[in-house]
Structure 1
Amino acid sequence: MSVRAEPAPLRSRTLERAATALLERALEGLDGGALEVKLPGGAVRRFGSGAPVRLEIHDAAFFRRLATRGKLGLGESYTAGEWDTDDLVALFELLVRNVDRAAARHSGMRRLLELRPRLHRRNGLRRSRRNIAYHYDLGNELFALMLDDTMTYSCGVFERPEATLAEAQRAKFDRLCRLLELDAADHVLEIGCGWGGFARYAAERHGCRVTGITISSEQAALARERTRGLPVEILEQDYRSVDGAFTKIVSVEMVEAIGADQLGTFFATIDRVLAPGGRAAVQSILVPEQRWDRYRRTPDWIERYIFPGCLIPSLAALTQAAARHSRLGIYSVDELGEHYAETLRRWRSNFHAQIEDVRRLGYDRRFERTWDFYLAFCEAAFRTRALRDAQLLLARPGPAG
């Protein structure tokens, strides 16, 4: 006897009803604000109390993505244009503040959303180069529209509210130089030198020699231009193949790109090439310890669509990797996370202000929405301390200097 297949429209409506119920269960008891959701049929649901953030769902595909793609579905649906909000950052802040409470109330729902595991791919030399090219070789022109004159793509330090983005980045460089106790006699290795901002600052301000390495061809080309005439050498080279001895080593928000499997190799490399009595400064985005295990097991939208191969470490993961694979210890932790939200707000503002120029470079609407989602989510994550950022001082035990 043959069994007649259920009509596709009926399956779709059933899934939409189930997903809507799931959404309402997840948002019940929303605390710290209000969310007003307009459904595709025009009905409005309100959760929480106070002045609401408004979310409008244009397409029922939004629910299907959430039901079948879990955490990835929210971002995929946004880039597809299936929903909008009047304040993307405020929406993420509200959701991030409530996510743990919602997960505790609905443990079965959380297990359902975590069924899809994070892909585990080792970052070998060739894969690392492909991953970096995917993001950093988008074009120097694009990053120039979003960043400031220092061409620095990491957290700045706003020493006063009216500081410009460029001033905040130079303040960050200054902190790193003071942490390393740089002077003209030093030879500095910068692991992940970007477009040469720190190398240029250190060479100009302190007269030291700098060797910067990157595996982005676009970054290497511009970094060489920006440091011409200074005692700076820019190499297109993987950190694992570095040789020589350096009195100081710095790495700013590069370690997140290598994956958990390579943390030991990263610290072993620093230990291998750091001269006796030398210092190393590592600035890293950090996941709070309570979220680390869950974060590294489950899929992440930013890893999938923005930084392939990345895995943000926790402070404990860095400390343990350094202890197990090197003679290095962490001797200070300088928290910068409060400054990252403002840094990201400035980048996103620049991105929107220059959007016509972004389009003239050939980037389409999906790219715009992808980067808007990425920058807004990260800003909210730092505002709510769901992410941290810190400068770490590393050295070997024994006399300094």
Structure 2
Amino acid sequence: MSTKTRDPRLVPVLSAEDAARWPDIADLPRRPFTKFRAAAANRLFRYAAKQIDVRIEYPDGELTGLQSDAVQPRMIIRRPRSFARRVGSGGLIGFGEAYMAGDWTTDDLVGVLTPFAARAAELVPKPLQTLRALVLPKQPASEENTTKNTRSNIARHYDLSNDLFSTFLDETMTYSSGLFTESELSAGPEWAGFADAQRRKVDRLLDMAGVGEGSRVLEIGTGWGELCLRAAARGATVRSVTLSSEQRELALRRVAEAGFADRVQIDLLDYRNIDGEFDAVVSVEMIEAVGQKYWPTYFETIDRVLAPGGRVAIQAITMPHDRMQASRNTYTWVHKYIFPGGQLTSLPALDAVTREHTTLRLRDEHQMGAHYAETLRLWRERFRSRRARVRELGFDDTFMRMWDFYLAYSEAGFRAGYLDVIQLQFTRDEIRS
């Protein structure tokens, strides 16, 4: 039996080609007790709306949200029935899909999402939070980060198109938080200094890892090669591993053009299969793709290949430990559309897993969540300004709404303090404590 229903009064009008590409946007879910779920979602959303500083407008003129004399971001519910059905069936997945479908719109997406992120732990009454695992979608087995699945998970995001990423990344092609100067951060960073902020971030990590002339460096997660280039420029030899063929192709070309082909090796390889010995191990926002089940394996691999006296520098996106624990088995909109198999960690979790499974110990940390909020703002502004180019690359309007939501959703998490990004240094205890 079909799990979808099409009602032209409720769902967006997409071309046949787009409907085939976006089936869960073109059609509405029809799960057991759909009407009951929609009614419950409607009541729960209205309850939550009264707690946040957002003006929520309905087609009949009704207003909800925490009423304030101040100017509030506007969330406009254009198709209430469709919105409620999606949220009732999929929770936050349905909330994001409703935006992709145009069931709700806004002229300030970050402004709307930030209050939701700030109150994420409180918007759903605690008795109902315990039911989440029973009523919401589960992670597909095909997205668990086994050695069999991980490459396809990575490819679904990073192999979309190098040209797509180049539409909004700076000249360094660095897809992680930049590190701005304090004056830039207070004034609001501008695009002109963005590439320098990315280089500053990489250099700080290399300093943490003690990378210099003659260092043997392992990079887990190549990106598009900027860290390889800057480590090689210091006189290091680098082995970098990735599971993205698109990223590897461009990174190899950049390395060759810079004249560092004799110092840099880039392999299409799962981190679990790394061999050798290295003075420094560096990894930038890659642990998010590992999955909690495999965190011990990730750090055991680093511990195994790290030379005596070596250092580890990792940049990781984190969330509060209690929220990580509460949401660790939740299948989210980000999993479904952006990062299949992903899982954010917390600082206590990283400290605990290294203490339990390795000789590595956390020695230093540098928090920079405010820098990521500005990084995402710059990316999103750049992406929105180059929509015509994105269309030329073959990406449709639904994709652009999805990508816009992803960047805004992420920025809101950092602006609310729900997310953070931290540069971490680990060194090895030569005698296990």
Residues 71 and 113, structure 1, Cα contact 8 Å, conserved in 2: no
**Within the alignment, does 1:53 sit opposite 2:82 as a pair?**
no
What residue in structure 2 maps to residue 26 of structure 1? Answer: 48
Hey, what's the Cα distance between the residues in 2 that align with 1:12 and 1:240? Answer: 43
1:85 corresponds, among 77, 82, 106, to 106
Alpha-carbon deviation of 1:225? 0.4
Equivalent position of 2:172 in the other structure: 150
Q: Which residue of structure 2 aligns with residue 167 of structure 1?
A: 196
Report the Cα offset of residue 16 of structure 1. Answer: 5.7
For 1:12 and 1:304, the matched residues in 2 are separated by 21
* Conservation of the 8 A alpha-carbon contact between 1:180 and 1:281: yes
**Paired residue for 1:183?**
212
Task: After TM superposition, give the deviation of residue 14 of structure 1 in Å.
Answer: 7.4
Structure 1 residues 397, 360: CA separation in 2 closer, same or farther (over 3 Å shift)?
same
CA shift for structure 1 position 112:
4.6
**Bigger Cα displacement from structure 2, 212-221 vs 325-334:** 325-334
**Residues in 2 aligned to 1:153 and 1:128: alpha-carbon distance in whole angstroms:** 19
Residue identity matched to 1:107: K
Within-5 A mapping of 1:171-250: 171-204=200-233, 206-228=234-256, 229-230=259-260, 231-250=263-282
* Cα displacement (A) at 1:261: 0.9
The Cα of 1:19 is off from its aligned counterpart by 4.0
Question: What are the Cα deviations for residues 306-334 of structure 1, in whole angstroms up to 9, with x where unaligned?
Answer: 00010111112222221222111111111
Which residue of structure 2 aligns with residue 296 of structure 1?
Answer: 328
Residues 15, 257 of structure 1: CA spacing in aligned structure 2 closer, same or farther, 3 A cutoff? closer
Report what 1:39 is aligned to: 58
Shift of 1:359: 0.6
Q: Is the 8 A contact 1:251 1:282 kept in 2?
A: yes
CA–CA separation in structure 2 for the residues paired with 1:16 and 1:42 = 21
2:121 to 80, 100, 109: 100
Q: How far did 1:26 drift?
A: 1.8
Q: Is the 8 A contact 2:51 2:65 kept in 1?
A: no
Shift of 1:338: 1.6
Contact 2:55 2:64 in 1 (8 A): yes
Q: Which letter maps to 2:83?
A: F
Match of 1:66 in 2: 87
Describe the SS at the equivalent of 1:91: helix
The alpha-carbon deviation at position 97 of structure 1 amounts to 2.1
Give the root-mean-square deviation of aligned CA atoms.
2.1
Amino acid at match of 2:76: E
Measured in 1, the distance between the counterparts of 2:140 and 2:296 equals 17
Check whether the contact 1:212–1:235 (CA below 8 A) recurs between aligned residues: yes
Q: Kindly indicate whether residue 415 of structure 2 is the aligned counterpart of residue 383 of structure 1.
A: yes
Q: Residue 233 and residue 42 in structure 1: after superposition, are their counterparts in 2 closer, same or farther (change >3 A)?
A: same
Which residue pairs with 2:290 in the alignment?
258
Supply the distance in 1 between the matched residues of 2:41 and 2:220 (Cα, whole angstroms).
45
Identify which range, 317-326 or 152-161, moves more after superposition: 317-326
Instruction: Show the counterpart of 1:3.
Output: none
Structure 1 residue runs without a partner (length 5+): 1-7
Deviation at 1:260, TM superposition (A): 0.6
Deviation for aligned residue 1:235: 1.0
TM-score relative to the length of structure 1:
0.91
Aligned to 2:22: none
TM-score for both structures, normalised by structure 2: 0.84
Question: Which residue does the alignment assign to 1:352?
Answer: 384
Between the aligned partners of 1:85 and 1:236, the Cα distance in structure 2 is 41
Quote the Cα distance in structure 2 between the aligned partners of 1:311 and 1:296: 7
8 A Cα contact 1:117 1:297, kept in partner: no
User: SS of the counterpart of 1:368?
Assistant: helix
Post-superposition shift, 1:13?
A: 7.8
AA partner of residue 178 (structure 1): D
Task: Give the Å deviation of 1:46.
Answer: 4.5
Distance in 2 between the 1:289 and 1:213 partners? 29
SS of residue in 2 equivalent to 1:374: helix
Q: Secondary structure at the match of 1:124?
A: coil
* Residue correspondences, number: 385
CA contact (8 A) 1:71 1:299 kept: no
SS at match of 1:99: coil
Q: Which residue of 2 aligns with 1:335?
A: 367
Are residues 12 and 394 of structure 1, via their aligned partners in 2, closer, same or farther at CA, if it must alter by over 3 Å?
closer
Which consecutive unaligned segments of at least 5 residues does structure 2 have? 1-6, 10-32
Between stretches 67-76 and 129-138, larger displacement belongs to 67-76
Task: Give the residue type in structure 2 aligned to 1:180.
Answer: A
Structure 2 matches for 1:315-334, cutoff 5 A? 315-334=347-366
CA distance in 1, matches of 2:36, 2:90: 17
Query: CA–CA distance in 1 between the matches of 2:146 and 2:41?
Result: 39
Residue number in structure 1 paired with 2:302: 270
Query: Taking structure 1 as reference, are residues 127 and 95 closer, same or farther at Cα in structure 2, changes over 3 Å only?
Result: same
1:21, CA displacement in angstroms?
2.9
